[in-house]
Amino acid sequence: MSIAYKETRETKYWLDLLHDTRDLGDKEHSEHFKDVDEIGGMLFSTIRKCRQTS
């Protein structure tokens, strides 16, 4: 799980880079970033709950 969470952080970095270089438009960046952020939030919540129960 923690590897998947780290991958979402890296994906957000690449989305920002593509947006900054104008290879990704505002709309596409916003949509993809929102989706990745939501997935990252779910993963973080799951990791936190697993650590609390351990």
Q: How many Cα atoms within 13 Å fall on the side-chain side of residue 32?
A: 17
Q: Give the global pTM.
A: 0.88
Q: Read off the amino acid at residue 13.
A: Y
Among candidate residues 14, 16, 7, 17, the one with its CA nearest the CA of residue 39: 7
**Which has more confidence, 1 or 27?**
27
- Could you read off the pLDDT of 7-44 as tens digits, one per residue? 999 999 999 999 999 999 999 999 999 999 999 999 99
Q: Give the per-residue pLDDT at 45.
A: 96
Among candidate residues 27, 35, 32, 38, the one with its CA nearest the CA of residue 15: 32
Residue 54 confidence (pLDDT) above 80: no
